[in-house]
Structure 1
Amino acid sequence: MSARTGTPDPAGPGAAAGPARALLGRGAATGRLRHVEVLPARAGERVPWPGWADPEVVAALERSTGGLPWRHQVEAAEHVRAGRSTVLAAGTASGKSLAFQLPVLTALRGGDGGGDRGEGAGAQRGPARWGGRVCTALYLSPTKALAADQESRLRALDVPGVVAATYDGDTPPEVRRWVREHAGLVLTNVDMLHRSVLPGHEHWASFLRRLRYVVVDELHGYRGVFGSHAAAVLRRLRRLARRYGADPVFVLASATVADPATTARRLTGVDVVAVTADTSQRPELTVALWEPPMVQPVPDDRGDPLGDPSGAPGRAPAAQRRSATAETADLLADLVEDGVRTLAFVRSRTGAESVAAGARRRLAEVGPDLPEQVVAYRGGYLPEERRALEQDLRTGRVRGMAATRALELGVDVAGLDAVLVAGWPGTRASFWQQLGRAGRRGTPALGVFVARDDPLDTFLVHHPEALLGAGVEATVLDPDNPYVLAPHLCAAAQELPLTEEDLPAFGPAAAGVVELLVQRRLLRRRSTGWYWTRRDRASDLTDLRGAGGTVRVLEAGTGRVLGTVEAGSADAQVHRGAVHVHRGETWVVDELDLEESLALVHREEPGWTTHARTSHDVRVLAEDSRAEHGPVTVSRGVVEVTSQVTGFLRRRAGTGQVLGEEPLDLPVRRLRTRAVWWTLDEEVALGALGAEGPGGAAARLPGALHAAEHASIGLLPLLATCDRGDLGGLSTAAHPHTGRPTVFVHDSVPGGAGFADRGADRLRGWLAATRDAVRSCRCEDGCPACVQSPKCGNGNEPLDKAGAVAVLDVLLAALPPGGPGDTGSGEGSGEGSGAGSGADGTGHRPVP
């Protein structure tokens, strides 16, 4: 347990009540519970409905909320009604939807135009009118689930005269025309704007001509390269709206965003007013930090202790920490058995399936009716499956659900009592979003963070102040990223010829990127502007989420579609021989056809899991900056990363014992992105490692660098708004570009997302946290909690934990104190590295 002053006893006053209190008591007794903190309940501040609000809208919202609005809702609505673009940053379940529903639905009903856009609040009824035209609005969400949830809420409000409809990838073709022609409020996402609405704007002319509001929900979800793409799409939307005579007001909302005004401005390109005071009522929330116990090796079928899971020969078996998925499955089963409605967030699709299956097995031992109360929810399910599961969770037919982040953003699942977070979700913003799913009806709630055997997870459960005592991270997005701008400028030119007047809206880098596109003959300059030169659709040049499309998973023989996986991860997830889990059932892949984007599978229970092995290389293309500090040199710039899935390991299910390895012949993938790298003088590095161990210092150096690379990647999400999966790295005792021992950490998306640059800006704080996490880990030779990586393509070999500490000590001794990044906490400004300025601070970015 934490010794922090004021840490409550899990069984004492103020802790979570009932079964949740019993669970925390068991955790304390078994040594799993590391820290408990109670966030007290808060009384809200209500105010009268504004006089300009449409009576029908007010009546509908009163039926929904059961009372008067909160002060922050009305404050935001007043700004929107006055024609000011507005961002509302208030806590989860604080009623942000009402803040934009009130002015938008009033306008759609024909109410007050607001500000200088018209007078006569509530004077018109029937078709909404604004300057003699029907008023329309767009609602944008980062996930389909959230848009579907908002549509359900609007239907439940049943406001007369308001026609709202969803327009996304699941909308049948025959329905799409009806939505264009009849809906006043269209719920969609930036992906559909990019691929359908904007390229086909002639079909949307009537809608765009009347576009008055654009609502952007869950603002913090637009980060990294996806956020940069979304910023370009919104600039294209504003450009076409102006072409049709509209100038929409933007309304943005988020529960977890740092510097909301800056983030909203960077995303939309317009000035915004920020409303940040949360005046809603909040229930008591008990937050628990939970660390699974160490477990001893399990004998195999012959009675021999299993070897190291990495498969390395000659290494004695060692105790390992129980997996977060297994621990979460048990916690989910315990809570469901006690009648606690619980949502467990799991990092991966496979993990969600595993947690649900484990909880069902535990519950089957208790009663025959209990297992059916637990389900999994993840991307890759068919749309009708997802909607049915969401409804089952709302109604209480399902008491326990293991879900990926697909349910993190905004979906109203009121009535939940507890949330389990299995493994660090990547950012504090995501962590608080997930915990916010519990207690949404005002009852006390429980949130439990279950740590994985991972450097950052271990650091956080032993340093609760880094999680509970810090604000959310700055949202990093770079609208000036040339890799993002290039395809969107092509798309904009195809939609409507680009002119000189258009370029400032796309940022200072736009002019240079346009000239490059002309050189590459993708655009042609004429007297009236720049034109798209090809017959194919320019919007097909890029995938906003960086996934490159999807691969369908089909049952061999019948052709039945089971689900999908992202194309970018298909090599590692559904290669030939891979074990694929879908809705608790295990399938084995017969064939992966990348050209046809499909994987054929058959039903089988093989008794093992599969793990892809990958080779990597990093080539430096441009070094933007270099800083020399004695034996240490720190650089950043543009690199090309090549990777290839070369084979896969088969591991015994439940124990991780390596059963064998098979080769694969899959294509090489190339990624041009941004990186930070540091090098060491070889003699200094060898001197720090000493002559201990077989082969001496020279033999230890690769393992020391490899371990330091893994640990630094694991800790960077503490400083940047990213997940470990957003990063990659490489370590080598002699890199061709530097000629010295080198460690690279790079973004895993084309063009970069600012994460590696953020690490470079805060290098000392980053490396200090990395060294402390490795040094304080209680394992002897290195484990997943410090230097092992779940993504390692080399099977976590070689690794030298003590060598990593020695190398990091050399780095920290050489770096000057008090410089950039010497903050310790990793907290920075709202702008952050890579979010619009160049790596060298000059605003220069290399064009692709």
Structure 2
Amino acid sequence: MVRAAGEGAAPAGTAGRDGAAWRWVLEHGERSGRLRHVEVLPARAGERAAWPAWADPEVVAALERGTGGPPWRHQVLAADAVHAGRSTVLAAGTASGKSLAFQLPVLTELRRPSDGLGERGATALYLAPTKALAADQDARLRALGLERPLTATYDGDTPPEVRRWVRRHASLVLTNVDMLHRSVLPGHEHWAPFLRRLRFVVVDECHTYRGVFGSHAAAVLRRLRRLAARYGAEPVFVLASATVAEPATTARRLTGVEVLAVEEDTSARPRVDVALWEPPRRGAPPEAPAGADAADEAESAGGEQRTATAETADLLAGLVERGVRTLAFVRSRAGAESVAAAARRRLLERAPQLAGSVLAYRGGYLPEERRELEEGLRSGRVLGMATTRALELGVDVAGLDAVLVAGWPGTRASFRQQLGRAGRRGRPALGVFVSRDDPLDTYLVHHPEALFGVEVEATVLDPSNAYVLAPHLAAAAQELPLTEADLELFGPAAPGVVELLVARGLLRRRAQGWFWTRPDRAGELTDLRGAGGTVRVVESGTGRVLGTVEAGAADSAVHAGAVHVHQGRSYVVDELDLAQQVALVHPETPDHTTHARSRSEVRVLAEEERAAHGPLVVSRGVVEVTSRVTGFLRRRAGTGQVLGEEPLDLPERRLRTRAVWWSLDADAAARAAGGAPARLPGALHAAEHAAIGLLPLLATCDRWDLGGLSTALHPDTGRPTVFVHDAVPGGAGFSDRGHERLAEWLTATRDAVRACRCATGCPACVQSPKCGNGNEPLDKDGAVAVLDVVVAALGNPGAGAAPGGGGAGTGAAPA
């Protein structure tokens, strides 16, 4: 283990009185061999500035009551730019006061006399990525105690009569891009007085608008600009994020306007000590904290790593027992409930009076339940909380002492957002990252330099994606007929997409422009946050809807015979009706789990870029992925023993998307296979899995946003080839990001596989949780050999000799 600073120190006040909790974490982690690294993020003194002379005195007085002093200098720089009419993005750290930077100019302007605009005067929109954040911002504004401007939230929970009041009277409306898309823009005639006075559009936590969702959001904002212009308004955009790379570029892509970036952070911040924590494997020294469940330990049978949720529950219980206010971030709703329940069980054994102070927080709760939980965390009534990413963003839960991160959250941006929830009142804090049995998690706990002292990932979005643009151009045409001038607003791809919509009969050209031809709403053609809608999971005996799965995942997740787990209860799928988008299930607790098997093919449609590096050829472009779920395996629960395979008759799926691919010549492939051709498919397949697992290190994505295929002979290249593609129609820019940083990406992939302590491959290096071939064939040593050849060809001097090993397999292997 390496400490970045303060060797052996337990800083006073860190996560509890006199650092006792920090010492407990250190001692337990070192004794059990779990602690891999400690990074000290040092405290920093802030730099204040005077309130601007142009600011409304009542606004200044209200904000100063909340901050207890003058603003930070970066807040004033951003506020001055916005007041001067410049669209601005503020990129400053967590708890740096970004809200004040936009509240000061926006509230000042909205309080000015109406100047003939009517009683309401100027208006503004505040866009949040979650309803919880919008509600929190609304509460902060109301807490200022200002009579004007009138503020209101407008989301899916807002009753119809309140919506009418908001349209007519509110000056500052807090909403989200989903409501803009489905309600505000299609009904713009009802919003005409508001849009005519629109002065500001605030886009908070702008780093969350990435991938396909970010591309949709960019189209929605262009539709908003178009309608505002028709009513005579040209709003100033104000964007904010603690964790956005290339802020000016990201903001420009998202909004379509030139944006000034304020990137300096002059706020004070406390010291934070961050521990990188790796759960033990079966056979490691049994140093689990007292109270660890035998069931949790049983999960690691067969050489697997103890689960991150079990480790996090132990740490959460231990910190709460020591009086430390702790937030534990878990990747799934079920995981959050599981961590909270397990932590309560441990506390019932050791400190029963504290068991009731640990709760879960996730999506799906009623709004009043969420508000009550948030208040409990703020007040200290709730000492420990296990949460999904629902509390990652700017909801004010200041005063926390420690944050646990169970499993890599997907990006450095999310990781830093989550760590930033602790120490937000100036007190030193503790963070612990608990790794999962996953290639990227394993890599990060052993390579802290990939986490600290480096920029966050670039926000990847593509406003010109034709699959995204088409439904928005249709929606824009329904809102107001599209003109040639409008197409410039949507970018160079727009004319071609419009012609496609005309050819399909969705738009009709007239002298005044393009018109929507159908009676239904064009906005219903797309879901901003998904691809292809969802499939409802319904309990057949009661008709109760248990939940939903994305339509694209339904074939493999809820096919007939699949075991489906919901909130800890097991169900078996009776029927998947794709036409009605419903899966019927019944309660059952079988002794097996199910794993879908599939076949995939990748066909190159357009090779946009190609580069030769000796024996290696690297390409990127457009591909068509054809896939079909062919059956499923039944595996005995606990041991993984295959009990049988069942065939399925499901339709073929076609996906046109973007990909990066690389291929080797025959000599290089033979060297990588160690002269044994039968090893090559397994080596390529393992390298493909590992590369997919590591790409989120560079692009703002999750491995579930990606797919891949490897084959010893691909018909379009005539060579051994590995493809990694975006798993969404039209692509989301993730594979392009991998192409841009190919050497860095594949070097990290090779290092992660080589460093893994397993013998033949495991979930921490080359096994994939979503492999359509059941992780067969895989050759870990062969993957290192293949990646050594690739990295050396790309000019990286770190490539070494490939270690020996076994393995065999043939055929194409889809991830």
Q: Is TM more than 0.5 here? A: yes
Answer whether contact 1:8 1:37 (CA < 8 A) is retained.
no
Aligned to 1:636: 620
Distance 1:197 1:673, change over 3 A: same
Residue of 726, 731, 740 corresponding to 1:752: 731
Secondary structure of 1:617's aligned partner: strand
Instruction: Compare 392-401 and 538-547 and name the one that shifted more.
Output: 392-401
User: Are 1:291 and 2:278 counterparts?
Assistant: yes
Secondary structure of 1:548's aligned partner: coil
Answer whether contact 2:530 2:550 (CA < 8 A) is retained.
no
Q: Hey, what's the Cα distance between the residues in 2 that align with 1:375 and 1:262?
A: 40
- Aligned-pair CA distance for 1:359: 2.0
Q: Hey, what's the Cα distance between the residues in 1 that align with 2:596 and 2:284?
A: 23
Aligned to 2:88: 86
Residue of 74, 77, 95 corresponding to 1:75: 77
Instruction: Compare 587-596 and 240-249 and name the one that shifted more.
Output: 587-596
Q: Give the partner amino acid of 1:39.
A: L
Aligned to 2:394: 410
Residue of 56, 59, 63 corresponding to 1:57: 59
Residue of 211, 234, 251 corresponding to 1:247: 234
Q: Hey, what's the Cα distance between the residues in 2 that align with 1:215 and 1:180?
A: 18
Q: Give the partner amino acid of 1:515.
A: E
Aligned to 1:442: 426
Secondary structure of 1:365's aligned partner: helix
Residue of 631, 636, 660 corresponding to 1:676: 660
Distance 1:181 1:362, change over 3 A: same
Q: Hey, what's the Cα distance between the residues in 2 that align with 1:608 and 1:782?
A: 23
- Aligned-pair CA distance for 1:655: 6.2
Q: Give the partner amino acid of 1:337.
A: E
Answer whether contact 1:163 1:184 (CA < 8 A) is retained.
yes
Q: Hey, what's the Cα distance between the residues in 2 that align with 1:813 and 1:23?
A: 41
Q: Hey, what's the Cα distance between the residues in 2 that align with 1:5 and 1:254?
A: 27
- Aligned-pair CA distance for 1:792: 1.6
- Aligned-pair CA distance for 1:20: 2.9
Deviations for 1:257-277, whole angstroms, at most 9, x for unmatched residues?
Answer: 112112111111111222222
Deviations for 1:408-443, whole angstroms, at most 9, x for unmatched residues?
Answer: 121111121111111112211111011111111221
Aligned to 2:294: none
User: Are 1:703 and 2:702 counterparts?
Assistant: no
Answer whether contact 1:382 1:563 (CA < 8 A) is retained.
no
Q: Hey, what's the Cα distance between the residues in 2 that align with 1:102 and 1:31?
A: 50
Instruction: Compare 130-139 and 477-486 and name the one that shifted more.
Output: 130-139
Secondary structure of 1:517's aligned partner: helix
Aligned to 1:30: 32
Distance 1:88 1:655, change over 3 A: farther
- Aligned-pair CA distance for 1:575: 4.5
Aligned to 1:119: none
Residue of 128, 132, 135 corresponding to 1:145: 132
- Aligned-pair CA distance for 1:584: 5.4
Distance 1:296 1:363, change over 3 A: same
- Aligned-pair CA distance for 1:19: 1.3
Deviations for 1:337-375, whole angstroms, at most 9, x for unmatched residues?
Answer: 222221111223333333233223322322444443333
Q: Hey, what's the Cα distance between the residues in 2 that align with 1:54 and 1:385?
A: 36
Q: Hey, what's the Cα distance between the residues in 2 that align with 1:661 and 1:374?
A: 42
Aligned to 2:755: 776
Q: List alignment gaps of at least 5 residues for structure 1.
A: 112-123, 299-307, 311-316, 692-696, 824-848
Q: Hey, what's the Cα distance between the residues in 2 that align with 1:89 and 1:371?
A: 39
- How many residue pairs get aligned? The number is 785
User: Are 1:326 and 2:310 counterparts?
Assistant: yes
Aligned to 1:314: none
Answer whether contact 1:735 1:741 (CA < 8 A) is retained.
yes
Answer whether contact 1:381 1:562 (CA < 8 A) is retained.
no
Answer whether contact 1:108 1:128 (CA < 8 A) is retained.
no
Secondary structure of 1:225's aligned partner: helix
- Aligned-pair CA distance for 1:588: 5.3
Q: Hey, what's the Cα distance between the residues in 2 that align with 1:561 and 1:156?
A: 39
Deviations for 1:750-800, whole angstroms, at most 9, x for unmatched residues?
Answer: 111111112122222222221121112221111122111122222212110
Answer whether contact 2:21 2:319 (CA < 8 A) is retained.
yes
Q: Give the partner amino acid of 1:730.
A: L
Q: Hey, what's the Cα distance between the residues in 2 that align with 1:673 and 1:234?
A: 24
Aligned to 2:8: 9
Q: Give the partner amino acid of 1:343.
A: L
Aligned to 1:829: none
Instruction: Compare 142-151 and 593-602 and name the one that shifted more.
Output: 593-602
Aligned to 2:176: 189
What aligned pairs does 1:142-291 form with structure 2 within 5 A after superposition? 142-291=129-278
Instruction: Compare 449-458 and 576-585 and name the one that shifted more.
Output: 576-585
User: Are 1:624 and 2:608 counterparts?
Assistant: yes
Instruction: Compare 701-710 and 326-335 and name the one that shifted more.
Output: 326-335
- Aligned-pair CA distance for 1:174: 3.5
Q: What TM-score do the two structures reach when normalised by structure 2? A: 0.90
Instruction: Compare 763-772 and 586-595 and name the one that shifted more.
Output: 586-595
Distance 1:389 1:601, change over 3 A: farther
Answer whether contact 1:640 1:673 (CA < 8 A) is retained.
yes
Answer whether contact 2:126 2:204 (CA < 8 A) is retained.
yes
Answer whether contact 1:10 1:36 (CA < 8 A) is retained.
no
Answer whether contact 2:13 2:427 (CA < 8 A) is retained.
no
Answer whether contact 1:297 1:318 (CA < 8 A) is retained.
no
Answer whether contact 1:129 1:135 (CA < 8 A) is retained.
no
Residue of 713, 722, 734 corresponding to 2:692: 713
What aligned pairs does 1:486-501 form with structure 2 within 5 A after superposition? 486-501=470-485
Answer whether contact 1:326 1:355 (CA < 8 A) is retained.
yes
Secondary structure of 1:530's aligned partner: strand
Secondary structure of 2:484's aligned partner: coil
Q: Hey, what's the Cα distance between the residues in 1 that align with 2:518 and 2:96?
A: 48
Answer whether contact 2:571 2:586 (CA < 8 A) is retained.
yes
Distance 1:350 1:645, change over 3 A: farther
Aligned to 1:479: 463
Distance 1:607 1:522, change over 3 A: same
Q: Hey, what's the Cα distance between the residues in 1 that align with 2:531 and 2:391?
A: 19
User: Are 1:729 and 2:728 counterparts?
Assistant: no
- Aligned-pair CA distance for 1:745: 0.2
Q: Hey, what's the Cα distance between the residues in 2 that align with 1:368 and 1:591?
A: 45
Q: Give the partner amino acid of 2:216.
A: H
Question: Alignment RMSD, CA only?
Answer: 3.0
Secondary structure of 2:343's aligned partner: helix
Aligned to 2:505: 521
Distance 1:450 1:817, change over 3 A: closer
Q: Hey, what's the Cα distance between the residues in 2 that align with 1:161 and 1:5?
A: 49
Distance 1:387 1:671, change over 3 A: farther
Answer whether contact 2:481 2:515 (CA < 8 A) is retained.
yes
Deviations for 1:236-294, whole angstroms, at most 9, x for unmatched residues?
Answer: 10010010111111111000111211211111111122222212221111111111112
Secondary structure of 1:93's aligned partner: coil
- Aligned-pair CA distance for 1:83: 1.5
Percent identity over the alignment is: 77
Deviations for 1:102-158, whole angstroms, at most 9, x for unmatched residues?
Answer: 22222222x3xxxxxxxxxxxx4xx79769862111110112221122122223223
User: Are 1:742 and 2:744 counterparts?
Assistant: no
Answer whether contact 2:205 2:393 (CA < 8 A) is retained.
yes
Secondary structure of 2:350's aligned partner: coil
Instruction: Compare 794-803 and 527-536 and name the one that shifted more.
Output: 527-536
Residue of 401, 421, 424 corresponding to 2:408: 424
Q: Hey, what's the Cα distance between the residues in 2 that align with 1:759 and 1:169?
A: 37
Distance 1:339 1:655, change over 3 A: farther
Distance 1:74 1:397, change over 3 A: same
Aligned to 2:807: none
Distance 1:658 1:23, change over 3 A: farther
Q: Hey, what's the Cα distance between the residues in 1 that align with 2:743 and 2:526?
A: 36
Secondary structure of 1:23's aligned partner: helix
Q: Hey, what's the Cα distance between the residues in 1 that align with 2:116 and 2:435?
A: 54
Q: What TM-score do the two structures reach when normalised by structure 1? A: 0.86
